[in-house]
Each structure stands twice: as C-alpha cells, then as structure tokens.
Structure 1
C-alpha cells in the first residue's frame, strides 16, 4: 500500500477521495492504512470499504453488505451512493479505526479457524475460536481508539464469520494446510495469492504487547507461524489457561452482587 501510494502521489489531486479496499497493518511501523495515507497524501479524503464480501460472490450479484467508513460523513455517504446497488448494500460508519482493525485482525483469527479445520476438529471448536476471537479484536480495538460496537457489525463479526467459514477465504485455506502439517511457506505457495493473516499476525502480536492487551489466540497463532510451535500444543495451551469469567467486565462491575 505504501509503495502504491508513493507511485500514485504525483497523480493524486488535492481533496481526492481515496477508497481503500485492502486490509492489514504495516509490519515495520504498525500503522493502519489510513495513517499511511495521511502520511503520504495528507490532503486526501479517505474512506475504507470493508465487510463480508468475497469477490467471487459479488461478481455473481449475490446479495452482499459492506460498510463505508470515513471521518467525513459526506465522503462516507458519497462513496455509499456510488457503490450501492440492489445486490450490494452499503452502510456508513464514522469509526475508521474500528473498521480498519476489524478487517485486518479477522484474518489472524481465520488462520486459526483453518488450522482447526486442518486438524479435523469440528463446529464446537470453530465457534469457540470465533467468539473468543472477536473479544480479542474488540479489546485491542478499544485500546486503540475504536468503538466496541463496530466489532459487532459488518466489518467485525460479519467479516470474521465469512472469513472463518468460507473456502473462498485465503486465510482459512492456508490455515487448513498448516493444520494438516504443511510448512508455512509451502502453504502460501499452494494458495498462490496473498495470505494477509500471515503478516498481520506479526503486527497484531506486536500491537498486543505495545498496548498490553491479553490476546491468547493471536499469541498462539503467532507462535505457530513465527516460532515453529506445534499446532496441537498451541490449542492445548488455550484450553488449559487459568479459569476466567466469560464477561469479565460485567463480573468486575457487579463483584459485590455475584
């Protein structure tokens, strides 16, 4: 994305509307894409278009919903009007941070969902992984300035569901291969396209340390990819962690009543 913007900069007009449909967090800087845009073309108007939208299905006019997120309401609505069709519904959202993080972090969880499938585990495992995964995503997002409600929307749980369950998902397919014992580099070669979750796992792990956020699923996926951890041991680590309340904030707020 940085390279594309650098090469495009001479042709970008002042106040140009930029619609971003890529997802990720820059490894070296831990910047979100909107921050990279602000750095390189600071006078542009930025929007991210994100949500559960596999291109293979959009191209066939299968009903799809996404979200247009921008700090500028008029820009978000302008992009909404351009892209909306009878089969492609676009909502708006002012929470750029949340929408960007939702689109990036879900790819890490999708790798985990694929690994679970590759190990031959079932729906129970995947449901648990996705549910606890959205908690991790929201915890980090709130710490970075996002709205928790965004992670309950299209760019959060919506994109997470489709990426963790569909065979269109490159991240899930790569995870399946890893779960079957195929080496990371070989899995990426077999997919033949970018597997965003591989790089994003590194950025997310580093962000969790920077903001002191407990993200056990992300930590184990990072360990599998970058430290050569055994996938079965990683799952065992998740299952035998210290006992916790599911809704820790509710318990803490009502400690004297429960």
Structure 2
C-alpha cells in the first residue's frame, strides 16, 4: 500500500510517500521522519533567536563553536562544495564570505563580526537526508521524500520498477528522471522582484545576481549534495567538472538533454 504524509516546514511543503504493508507502522515511522525535518528547521533557520545559526552569528566571531557530528557533517559539506565550486556556493554569501571550518576540531568560526549565514540552498536537502535516515533505521525499504518539489530523495524502488520516476517540468516540456537510492534537486534563476530583472540566486564571488542560463537538475548520492550543487551550477556552470568529480550528474533542462556528466 502507498501512504502519503505531508508537513509544512522551511517555508515550503515536505511530502513523504511510503510503500509497505502495515499502515499504522508506516504512519508512525513517517511522522517520526517528518519530525526530523521540523527539528532541523528549528536549528538551521536564521529567523529564530534560539536557533543554531543565530547562535553562530552572535558568538562565532569571538570563538570557534564545536558542533555535534550531524551538524558538523552539514558544515563540512558546505565547505567542500564552496571550495570545489570555486566559491559559487557559499552559505556566508550575504556578507561576502567569512566562515571557517576546522575539521580537526570539528568546529566552525566566523572570521569577523557581522558575518551572516544563510543555509537556504542546502538546508532542505540536509533535512531530507536526516529524515530518510530515520526511515532506514526503522527498516523502511521504499519511500520518496521531497521538499517543495525542488529537492527529492528516493529510498529503494517501487515493486517492479527501476527506480522512482520523478517528472521534471522545464522549458514547456517534461522529462522523467529515475531515482533509486539517489537524490535530485532542481534550481533556476527565477526573478522575484517586480522592479528589476534580478533573481533570487546571487554569485557570492561578485555580490550580484547570477546570470539566468536556464534551469538545471542534478542527481547526486544524497539530498544535501544535490541541493548545494544545483545552486552552485546555476551560479557557475563552469563548475561542472568539479561536480562530476564528486559524483554529481547534471541535466540541462532547457535543452532537455543530460550534460556529459550524466550517465
């Protein structure tokens, strides 16, 4: 049987599809997974004074802040993608950079007062990964979870199928991308201001909106990487080779064809 659950979080709608035989068990485990999304929303938002991000912004310039393993994993990925993309992705882009990650001490530090952190381009993916981890721990073998229809992670495959089919709309057409234990994220430079042709994605290296080169989708081993790299590659398509070296597949949706990095 198929069971669908939903939760409003991170200013969007998360939807979880579960496939199994025991509805009560599926519902209980599914709600626990969505609780994980809510938990990370509270930690990663910059709009609550009691959040981790708010704490880092207040105190991270004065001393290094040691993180628990799960949270450090997130900031470690942020730093990896920042470096690999040549700065096209940077969670400190609001203030021109300024986040340092210490892998030996498993801590982060802000390089100066006033550094602002924005995990909007990776937070949904990370929350999805943590929620799917809850499902795995409970023995769930087949599930699909998306956040705002822009980032999705598949667990297993529906019976008789070679992965979950995710339909992506772009350029007046549509295509289906198959997922089996992998994630997909779609990004585009959509304008959000009526008085200018600016979009919501900014190039951290230049402090101005990224060029609008059309939407892209990336398929990755996990939702955290998919979320981050979909943003990085909209900002700088030239980072594709670096993305490919990290197991990322890029689909140029405006052309309706996978790039050379797709397999």
**TM-score (norm: length of structure 2):** 0.26
Normalized per residue, the structure richer in strand is: 2
Normalized per residue, the structure richer in helix is: 1
**TM-score (norm: length of structure 1):** 0.26
